[in-house]
Each structure stands twice: as structure tokens, then as C-alpha cells.
Amino acid sequence: QVQLVESGGGLVQPGGSLRLSCAASGITFSIRTMGWYRQAPGKQRDLVASITSGATTNYADSVKGRFTISRDNAKNTVYLQMNSLKAEDTAVYYCNTYLTSLAGTRNDYWGQGTQVTVSS
């Protein structure tokens, strides 16, 4: 079965950096689009960044220039490098991938989430 395991969250001061990792199993990682989402208390889960099998990246406007998504297909791992962190980046961060059925239905898979708290 598909498993996504995140790590790397924690408490960091404003302006600091963190790197999140997500190790995937149960999928052919190299052909999958991988994404990072985040959810703050009382808010919906939003896309932060995604990377396709061809390494094309996409970022939310709020993180452009500060966050970088990357992947290592040899390790079945996707990363999110977060720099210049702000208080508003505080959220639970989730790793995501999805499979599309022959009928065109998208099935999302999520990790357990990792807490990122930006505070002085």
C-alpha cells in the first residue's frame, strides 16, 4: 500500500529555515507528481508546492522565492526546503501524491503530517 512518511518539522524562529522530508513507498515514485500541503488551525488544507516526474515545480504565491521543493528518485524522497520562515507559515505540513484511475477519478494519498511552528 502507499505510505508517505514526513519528517523534519519543529519549532523555528522567524527568519529561520527547516527542511522537510517525505519518504514514499508502495508507488513507482519516479513517475509520480509529489506535493506538499499545509493546514493551519481552522483553515483548509492548501497546496504549498508540487513537483512532477519531470521536475517541473509549482509554488503557492505566498512561498515563492522562500521555499524549494526537490526530489531524489533514488531515495524515493521528496523535500521541502523552507527559508525565511514567517509566523504565517505555522501549520501542519502534509506530503501528498495521487493516482488517477482509468475512470479518471483522482485518489489522494497523505502522510501523517509534521508540525512546523514559527515563533520567537
Which pLDDT belongs to residue 40?
Answer: 96
pLDDT for position 36: 98
Looking at residue 7, what is its pLDDT?
96
Region label for 18, one of left (φ > 0), alpha (ψ between -120 and 50) or beta (otherwise): beta
Confidence (pLDDT) at 115: 98
Per-residue pLDDT of the chain (120 residues; tens, 9 = 90+): 899 999 999 999 999 999 999 999 998 999 999 999 999 999 999 999 999 999 999 999 999 999 999 999 999 999 999 999 999 999 999 999 998 889 999 999 999 999 999 999
User: H/E element holding 29?
Assistant: none
Angle (CA) 57 26 49, round 5°: 20
